[in-house]
Structure 1
């Protein structure tokens, strides 16, 4: 018997085992039937994400055909199980998402300017936005009789150069240097080109004096601009920018040190008009309307007070959303608030994950490009985490109101707030690491004080100040608002100064980020114990990012700025680089500290034209780098010898063919195809901004020059 062949199961037993597994999946989905609909925004979001990740129309079309094929295949399968319906509807939603963003990009986007140009242009002003923190004004213009220019351009005008009569509807003539919207400077950096394309901006530049106003504006400034200017004039000191942002959503008056402190302390969400502001305003409106109507005996007995108060709150919420510019977090919050008010008016509990899913679905249908932005991801992730935590039975039992002594009641409230803040920080960590390469660690503790201070002190004082300004008595309330905001900034700077305030990491790969997000959604959207199967991808993805070796060499897309990692930190080629370039290079490398000058390094030898540098990677190998620092012509004999001795040669100009380093030559010709670079020397990895064959419409492509042959002589 020991030498007889083993028995193998026949086809019927295999089918039985497969059938049992499908039956187990169906039984689990039956217990989670109320959560299945929450995956509808995930389906349409998968199609939108596929359009951004795939390269060209052939791949986009292949994705749509594959998704439709999956839908047809599942539709032909026998049975009526939930898994079959989920796959079929999910494939259809993914196809719809891909086609939706594709169609919107083709019909409504603005192709970028092909190359930088100096022009004198006559244009109509479409909008004007003041940026006091940078001492300038941003004007969106529509060029007139300029077929070679995009339909919409944006120029920055210095405050001292702003002419009288500049406003919406004015016609001006100016000289400017226009450039295509900037792509990411290095891999993982902010992609302004994609955002500008979705906003319809085809070029940006700086206006040069003089600026002629051929027809002054006849329209009054928009209400948002007037409110912004009024608040900035009423509040003194650094608090003016925070006060203006809380009321209008415009952060242009916030100084960069204060904005950085708010980001590091985890309080930056207070500056973006979102659920906190909309909820506070609508809640205050409903409270006041209920109290005022209750003063009338007839209204209290005969009128549907909750329905009237909910309608008033809805109108105030819609007006506030319009006033603050209708940004994605504000729209999401307004939609959610309207659904909540509708549920309250009908006498139902409307604060559920279905509410969040409905808001996400509506935002993705109207603004599909918002999916890849940090605003959409962080706002919906935070709200989903809060609602999912509130729906957990144990947390709901702990947070439920009860008759107890006030010290225990206050302690319970603080514990609930702290637990909610910690959960939100953990959920937002991978999103913050992907977009900003840093995540707040102490935000939950800072928000314990900052959120009540903003909700119950700052915003009511600011509303009272605006109301009393109508009769000229708002000065005392503005003073109190400034003092409260000073306390908020003190908290932000105090928390930001801690070395544990932020967690830094180098740029995360999009595929890894997608796995982490799917794991988060799996944990948040299901209710049974199987929800924790999504935890390993989240923990593993974050661990891989934190343990990944940072790049040793960063090169911006124009080749002018180079950052190298040394044993003592990081150093930059041009020590006169601005703060924006320094911050971009530091964040992409996951480095927090000052960037030294490469010329000051002991392992570097620099002249006015060249820098030779020796770098050691993690494996102990020494790499030789040669970098150009000027536009001067260098002697060929010496330069050719140095090129041959170097492993990497880097320049912001085009290098001749006879310059042949041992490994890679990075010059203007290569960077025009690749964009910025991030290089890890130990592994020999080179990551680029541009992907070969990328056909997304916001990528600027210079026109091909056709060579014409001279006409033959007759």
Structure 2
């Protein structure tokens, strides 16, 4: 009896032995997550110990399935852990950026056209610079930045430049921001693994900089002393210039110039939204799509059309294969002697590779290209193309070469969607074949529509929790929108677009781009129409990380097994799906710069205070809480859900009485009473904390929160002020009957490589020693 359960489990595993290798990337992913979870930097010796220990386990237990599984699992987890540690420590440190306006020079890596802010406005551009130098006396002799900078140019900047050019810009820079609340999106981690040092906006027009003027004075833009009041000395070319050239990639500049040239030709033929979407589909440049249309695509469930992925690559490969094969078989001598199917498959793979390079080597397209290469290899060698194994190989390669992609949206959505599609059609293959049969054309058309709806349903359901976690919303009508948009993209838009690209050298691209615009216009219309329906976009609160991981593990369990026990994966999938609805949200949040405060009040989120990044923080908080925003009437001003007294000095309070503001004659102060706890909130204070709050107001308070330094106000009361936020990051407060819980972003994120020092300070870009 004691061995009954292990024997039954081993029998089930043996019956699924052909699916066991598919779990190898899952083990790698578990190791990657294990490295990201601790709040302190884990030691690589843990992974090395796991690797060493896995070998004797594999050798000793090779003759038993349990031994092989245990050794393989430990090996995969250790490899994933070590790969993540290697990628994290291989990245250059985050530099200290100037806090004031600075003149900088750098090489252009790429140029992105941004959408216009008003009707008739051509819009601005965002340039990515590499090998950046700051033209100040303090940075004289220092090596160029090892990370890139993204600079938004002025709207009226008409300088014509491209990748490889060296620019000189006066800009105001900012480092990657801290998370807006504990557990929210971590832009510092994304910047660390993305090679980004920060962003900025140009204060003046860009100009070309000579290749040897890396540390020249800023007199080309404004003569006289630099920002520190000192004259910078002229720079003479030395070894640092060679370092700049070595650290600046040049291999992709011709490709970038070609991409931008094609995008410009598309948008000259198709101005506005149609041209921006055409440039997205053909060269992967999506920055010029207007925000309202991008929102319409998101609300209708068509965002995947704006992200170059497996659908686009499959269309390109299919078109190249069809044209090549029909071209070969049309010649009788070739059709009888050459392997036309294999040649067409190789030509399709090469065409797909060119398309992936032209669209910017995005992760979903790379994953699809790896799978396509495996399928072509199977066709050429006469073997059966195993799609799920190809997906596992693609996932393994990506996790070993860039483990941080596991936390990115494209990786999660693309693999979840493809895995669900493969398994869904594996299960429904026989019913669909019987339904297709040898029916008439009308029946085949209905089957085609059914398969399109089934494809959208499978992919949309599998990626729904991922979309909830990263975008905070559900699109219930995504199937309807995809029924029209996907066939139009595959049969009209992409073929016409590829034909237009081939006609560009002959200046005849309008013959194909104009019809492509008709199809794009129809897709945009369908997206806007579906987005205008009631409940087309349902907001969802912030999904906890364990909830998303639980759903993805359940999806893997459901898709990677073939027996009935695969249905056990539905339980963790359901638990992960409902996790954002059962996780308690904070009652109060203080933004990372200490200037903005959010208070949860029923079905809305009340905001108060001022912040430099208020626009970004407001959007992030609205998404995290899935509630509409309103202003907190700190001085008795009427707001939604607030009841104001006859006189403004009497203050105001919410309908349930939990929040009251402007009472006791103290301006800018609110009292939050909930779950038997009281919080005193000072949301406005023009005295910078010098005007003390009377002790009578502080009496009986469990917590004092202020957007300015507390100084001597409310002495003896637990305090969260601007200095607290500066040291520990954003603060989240839960009011419970058993006490008040305060969680800081520093306590949540810990001391990891990408977590910047208080105030967003990085490591100074010190000059190199002679030996270096």
Match of 1:140 in 2: 129
Q: How do 1:664-703 residues align onto structure 2 when only pairs under 5 Å count?
A: 664-682=718-736, 684-691=740-747, 694-701=750-757
Aligned partner of 2:619 among 576, 579, 583: 583
Match of 1:340 in 2: 375
1:360-388 CA-to-partner distances (Å, cap 9, x unmatched) read 11111222110111110110110000001
Match of 2:64 in 1: 81
Return 298-307 or 461-470, whichever deviates more.
Answer: 461-470
Match of 2:17 in 1: 33
Match of 2:147 in 1: 152
Match of 2:549 in 1: 514
Whether the 8 Å CA contact 1:293–1:305 is kept in 2: the answer is yes
Return 299-308 or 72-81, whichever deviates more.
Answer: 72-81
TM-score (norm 2): 0.82
Find the aligned partners of 2:685 and 2:170 in 1 and give their Cα distance.
28
* 2:732 aligned counterpart, secondary structure: strand
Find the aligned partners of 2:541 and 2:698 in 1 and give their Cα distance.
30
1:165-209 CA-to-partner distances (Å, cap 9, x unmatched) read 644333333333333222322234332211211122223222322
Match of 1:249 in 2: 284
Whether the 8 Å CA contact 2:47–2:79 is kept in 1: the answer is no
Match of 1:185 in 2: 180
Aligned partner of 2:431 among 380, 383, 397: 397
The alpha carbon displacement at 1:45 in A equals 1.1
Change (3 A) 1:574 1:487: farther
Find the aligned partners of 2:609 and 2:523 in 1 and give their Cα distance.
37
- The answer as to 2:5 corresponding to 1:21 is yes
Change (3 A) 1:148 1:476: closer
- The answer as to 2:515 corresponding to 1:480 is yes
Find the aligned partners of 1:673 and 1:79 in 2 and give their Cα distance.
53
Match of 2:649 in 1: none
* 1:585 aligned counterpart, secondary structure: helix
Whether the 8 Å CA contact 1:187–1:677 is kept in 2: the answer is yes
- Number of aligned residue pairs: give it: 682
1:333-363 CA-to-partner distances (Å, cap 9, x unmatched) read 1111111222223344315211110111111
Match of 2:693 in 1: 638
Q: Structure 2: 5+ residue runs without aligned partners?
A: 117-123, 134-139, 213-249, 643-652, 654-659, 764-772
Whether the 8 Å CA contact 1:170–1:215 is kept in 2: the answer is no
Q: How do 1:516-665 residues align onto structure 2 when only pairs under 5 Å count?
A: 516-567=551-602, 569-574=604-609, 579-591=615-627, 593-599=628-634, 600-601=638-639, 602=642, 603=653, 604-605=660-661, 611-615=668-672, 617=674, 619=675, 621=676, 623-638=678-693, 642-644=697-699, 646-660=701-715, 662=717, 664-665=718-719
Aligned partner of 2:86 among 103, 112, 115: 103
The alpha carbon displacement at 1:677 in A equals 3.1
Match of 1:168 in 2: 163
Whether the 8 Å CA contact 1:626–1:642 is kept in 2: the answer is no
The alpha carbon displacement at 1:403 in A equals 0.5
- The answer as to 2:207 corresponding to 1:225 is no
Q: Structure 1: 5+ residue runs without aligned partners?
A: 1-16, 706-714
Find the aligned partners of 2:590 and 2:498 in 1 and give their Cα distance.
48
- The answer as to 2:329 corresponding to 1:294 is yes
Match of 1:710 in 2: none
Match of 1:56 in 2: 40
Q: How do 1:298-313 residues align onto structure 2 when only pairs under 5 Å count?
A: 298-313=333-348
Find the aligned partners of 2:314 and 2:94 in 1 and give their Cα distance.
39
Find the aligned partners of 2:131 and 2:556 in 1 and give their Cα distance.
42
Q: How do 1:203-214 residues align onto structure 2 when only pairs under 5 Å count?
A: 203-214=198-209
- The answer as to 2:169 corresponding to 1:202 is no
1:655-678 CA-to-partner distances (Å, cap 9, x unmatched) read 22544475x422232223432233
The two structures, once aligned, show a CA RMSD in angstroms of 3.0
1:257-313 CA-to-partner distances (Å, cap 9, x unmatched) read 111111121110111110000000010001001111122121111111112111211
1:195-251 CA-to-partner distances (Å, cap 9, x unmatched) read 211122223222322544322899876211222222222212322221111111221
Whether the 8 Å CA contact 1:188–1:588 is kept in 2: the answer is no
Change (3 A) 1:370 1:566: same
- The answer as to 2:107 corresponding to 1:125 is yes
Find the aligned partners of 1:39 and 1:236 in 2 and give their Cα distance.
48
Match of 1:316 in 2: 351
1:417-467 CA-to-partner distances (Å, cap 9, x unmatched) read 323322222221222222222232221222121111111111122223333
The alpha carbon displacement at 1:506 in A equals 1.9
Whether the 8 Å CA contact 2:149–2:196 is kept in 1: the answer is yes
Whether the 8 Å CA contact 1:558–1:652 is kept in 2: the answer is no
Find the aligned partners of 2:306 and 2:378 in 1 and give their Cα distance.
29
Find the aligned partners of 2:609 and 2:370 in 1 and give their Cα distance.
48
Change (3 A) 1:265 1:151: same
Change (3 A) 1:704 1:129: closer
Q: How do 1:351-366 residues align onto structure 2 when only pairs under 5 Å count?
A: 351-366=386-401
Find the aligned partners of 2:97 and 2:209 in 1 and give their Cα distance.
28
1:608-667 CA-to-partner distances (Å, cap 9, x unmatched) read 9953234454x5x474442333553455443665455654433444322544475x4222
* 2:196 aligned counterpart, secondary structure: coil
Find the aligned partners of 2:488 and 2:741 in 1 and give their Cα distance.
48
The alpha carbon displacement at 1:404 in A equals 1.3
* 2:546 aligned counterpart, secondary structure: helix
Change (3 A) 1:575 1:178: closer
The alpha carbon displacement at 1:126 in A equals 3.7
Return 161-170 or 282-291, whichever deviates more.
Answer: 161-170
Change (3 A) 1:518 1:258: same
Whether the 8 Å CA contact 1:48–1:368 is kept in 2: the answer is yes
1:503-528 CA-to-partner distances (Å, cap 9, x unmatched) read 43222222232222211111111010
1:128-156 CA-to-partner distances (Å, cap 9, x unmatched) read 32232162322323124563874224142
